[in-house]
Structure 1
Amino acid sequence: MRRSTLSFHNIRLKNKMLIMYFFAVFIPIVLTNVIFYIVTIENVKKQQMDDSTLALQQINSEFKRIIDEAVGISSSYYTNLNLNLFLETDYMSDIEYIERHYNFLRNLNQTNPLNPSINSIRFYTDNQTVIYSGGVYPIDSLEQSIHFEDELTKSNGSQILIDTPSNKNLETFSIIRNLDYFYKDKQKFVKVEINSSAIRGIFNNVTFKGDVYLLNERGEIEYTTNRFLTQMDKSINFNQINKENNQVTIRTKLDSGSYLKDWTIVGTISEETMLTTVNKSKLFIFLLACINFLAPTIIIVVISRSFLIRLQRILRHVKRMEKQNFELIDDQEFEDEIGQLTSEFNRMTKKIKDLINDVLLVNIQNKDLEIKRNRAQLSALQSQINPHFLFNALETIRMRSLMKEEKETAKIIHNMAKIFRNSLTWGRDFVPIRDEINLIISFLEIQRYRFGDKLDYEIHVDESTEEYKIPNMAILPFIENASIHGIEPLKENGKINLSISLKDNLLTCVIKDNGVGMTEGKRKQLLASLKNEEDIGENVGIKNVYYRLNLYYPDQFYFNIDSHLDYGTIITIQLPLQIDSQINGNLEKNLYFIK
């Protein structure tokens, strides 16, 4: 059955842990803290609303109490017959008025109980026989100080006026009442002025955290704690003031008799102020959320690391087995499932390693025999130097030496001695290029002695390459092949060019002759025969060199033959620059894996 690509089993274990953490820890904690914060805000807002409403009701009650006290005082004067007679009487002289004032009005003020909420009590009359002093004032001064002249002229005993000054900064309230209960011949009024400090004490309630407004029946502000409006010199409607968008408004109606009918006390408070307590608790909520995050996060990380790291270690070792690296897991054997898996993996790895060692032991013995066979074959290849040119050269030297005595004979014999000496030193696998060039020169001198003017040669070797080592007699077989198969069939003007240079860390050797060359088919056949190492056959010298280069430089050297019939042949060899240890290592490796 085909496995579904969307299966949960295809997700890596680390990602599964992240998904579990996200849905089981992160989201629940975030939702819990958000819901807790929202619920807390709503509860605090509700509690603040209740507290603010109670505070506003307390302001309402305190203000009505002061007003009622002032009204009660005015009522006591309203029903006082002696006071009405005092203000209604026409005095014959000033002395008579002063005595009456001293005996009645002064005693009246002293007998009334002291009320701290009352600032002063004044009497106004249009009686021309009284002296306006000592708490008695002309009616004209009252008309100039109040707002309700029309109401005042119409007022009777059943009407009480609340007077507020035009300058709201004075913060004074007065109760004005017409004293016409007994006599109505003259106008008489009592004005009870309320103490401004008592008003401020009521409205500046510390438990209410916003601004308080006292509104009359027309919605005009008579008093406010808003510091931006306390300096106003005229009445302003409450609806005309700018309010914040997040501002909460609380209203409570005074409704204290006819004199405060339709008067209201309004409180405004911003949500930010209401949530001050919550804002102070933000740090605590944040710390609580951090603890809720950190505690499960640390636990999950510790637990996940306890098996993720060990599982990844097991996975790495399993992947190494693909590269025949049977390394044991160096870890304490724990008792959980991963620990048991580690122990079983180590036991399995040890068994596989032991089994491979047993099998390899037999293979190594077989390979050892094969290596010895390949070494014998290599020795046979190295010893298969074509001796024909030596015999021909020696025969030529012998014939010339019988006919005449020449110094060049000694030179040729000397060159032959060099070649024989080198053929006897196969123990040196690698020789400096300088030694290889000396051997080639000896060979070419012998060949030029044989062919006379028919053979010429040029050798160009970079001085920087003379000390680099190459396989022994790696170039000479190609020189021999060029002279015998390329130049010897010619009648004259045969030439061999040899150049050795160093470029891009590659040692480049080019052997070029202008001999008879070969056909394209023969060239391809020669290159194809080089791939068959089992059959030496013809071209022993070239194959010998190619096989040895393949052993020393596996897949690291370049070899090419370029030849055209009647135009000559070019052989190009490129070798990497390697030290002896690298070369010997390549040789051993190739000898080991030759089949």
Structure 2
Amino acid sequence: MKMLRMTLDHVRLRDKMLLLYFLCVFTPVVLTNLIFYHVTSQNVKEQRMQDISRALEQIKIEFYREFEDAMEISSIFYTDHQLNEVLEETYPHPADYIAAYDSYLRHILNNTYSPAYHSVGGITIYTNNSTLLNSGGISFIDEGVRSLPWYTKISPGRQSKPIFVRTDDSTGEQMYPFSLIRRMNYFYSQNGREKILKIELRMSSIREIFNNLNLQGSLFLLNERGGIEYTTDPKVDINHKHVAYNTLNLPEDTMEFKTNYVLTSNLNGWSIVAAVSRDAVLYEMQESRNFVLLLTCVNMLLPTLIIIWITRSLNVRIHRILKHMKKVKNQHFELIRGTESRDEIGQLTGEFNRMTLKIKRLINDVYMADIQRKNLEIQRRHAQLNALHSQINPHFLFNALETIRMRSLMKHEDETARIIHNMARIFRNSLVWNKDRVTLREELELIRCFLEIQQYRFGERIQYEVQARSEDLDNLLPKMVALTLVENASIHGIEPLKHGGRIEIHFEHEEGQLILTVRDDGVGMSEEQVQRLYGYMQRQEEMGERIGLQNVIYRLKLYYGSRFELAIRSAPGDGTEIRIRIPADRE
């Protein structure tokens, strides 16, 4: 709770009012209406889906009733002993068959069953009894019949199951009608007669069942293999080819509803699928959404206007105080004019005016004294840097002059004139105090002068290599930092070795950083010495009389703070490598 209060203390008043508005007005209203809309829409959606499921179940039951009617008729024909005798009889003369047809066949084929079962479109009996006439619901089984697709699906033998298929009757129907076909082999045929019963369903009844007004989509009757046997979608042609339901390219927003035929003879595994557009299912949800949006707008309009009115009253006066505070910051001490109010903002205005008058009286005493103190601090820092330089120069100058003196005693040569010239350049550069940083080009000149002096002293015992790209020579670095590292490598690393050694100085530029690497193959340092040098980067005490690498670290901290990196790799007898990374800066 305390952290929350501290966080709110940093939020502007206008933003606090907005936060209050969103948390106490906007969010509750929106959430309430969203919950109301969600609950309402879910109820509407579930109710709509239940209606579609019930309509689909009704279609399933009515279609199955049509099928059962055909099955019942087929069972009557299948077990009719008198019908079997008429079909088995051999008629010597057509008049004999006509008499038998009029006495029984005409009655059962044309008059009895069709009025009772309105869904039956026609009944046909196929037989190979050549003494019957091919008319009045009786047809011969010839080669044309045997080549029909439905004939090949009838299984031979006794007690064969009926099949339910679509057959082409060439009546011009948009979709081939359904037919129930079965062999009439309930009675044994002494003459080897083949009898097939075909009951054709009336497609108008099927279309009436599937054209349910509660379903605003496409219906598909699928067989046990997933093939489409009937559909209300006119775009799907199932008369001339087998079409699987899973191959249809339905729209992405299609919702599917499915009901299956389970444990039913001949239709086991069949199913009815309704493909309905999501918009059609959720149409009533859209009306509910519009009502919720209207209610939300009405509930938010009045509170919003009131909060804007109150917020403007607060914000304008606070903004006026802030405007005058900025003027005070720029030493324009103007008072806030206007009628004083009694609320907290009015009290704050009065206190601000009194504070402004007091600051105006004290500004010359306190502010000017602070400016003088800061100038003295800057001068002290500059003097400290000069003092650091002076600590380095005597130490280096002593070593260089001692080298020249010893060499002059050993040899009487004019070669020392060149060394003295190099020494003069270094000495003259060290005396310039008003220039804290130098270019890499100037630092390299001093390094080469120093290394020539060292080679003059040690001869072939010391070798060196200096690498720097020409485009990096204008980068700035603190004065004599690189020279101090080279001096340490020469005096403390190479000089103790009898056989001498090598010094490598590399300057690199990488991603806005200038990298200085000084590497020697001298005596190296112990781990304790390396850690002690790292310790100078963490300490904050004054430099004092320390010189060498400690001096370099302290100066880098003064110039760059935490923006430089120092890496030391050294081991006894393995030489030393010092790498310094500083921000690249040009003149």
Larger Rg: 1
TM-score by length of 2: 0.50
Q: Structure 1 length normalisation: TM-score? A: 0.49
